[in-house]
Amino acid sequence: MADNFVNVAKIADIPAGQVRVYNVDGARLALCNVGGQIFAIDDTCTHDDGPLGSGFLDGHAIECPRHGARFDVHTGQVLQMPAAFPVRAYNTRIKDGDVQVDLGDETT
């Protein structure tokens, strides 16, 4: 399997309990810091294309600021409607203080 990890941010730039949005190779990613672990999902709500990175992070759930759809930042699965479809979630790792995201594979 190919290593598709790319550097996206510094871990220090994403405080615990916060979300930061980055453009990476044409994709808008919301990086979520949950207790020191970084999770990456698409920044676009599947309900109405709202900016998830502007939403509220509550533990492992992120809430879209437009209509309240909630998603699990681990898996991208819908936790609360009105969204009916998951967002894409990406594998991440921390290497030498850099947050790296695997753009080739989705999380399971």
* Pairing verdict, β 70-72 and 61-63: antiparallel
Q: How far apart are CA 42 and CA 32, in angstroms?
A: 11
User: Per residue in 87-103, pLDDT tens?
Assistant: 999 999 999 999 999 99
| Alpha carbon 32 to chain centroid, angstroms | 6
- In terms of pTM, does the model score above 0.85? yes
CATH code of the domain in which 10 resides:
2.102.10.10
Domain encompassing residue 16: 5-106
User: Per residue in 1-56, pLDDT tens?
Assistant: 567 899 999 999 999 999 999 999 888 999 999 999 999 999 999 998 889 999 99
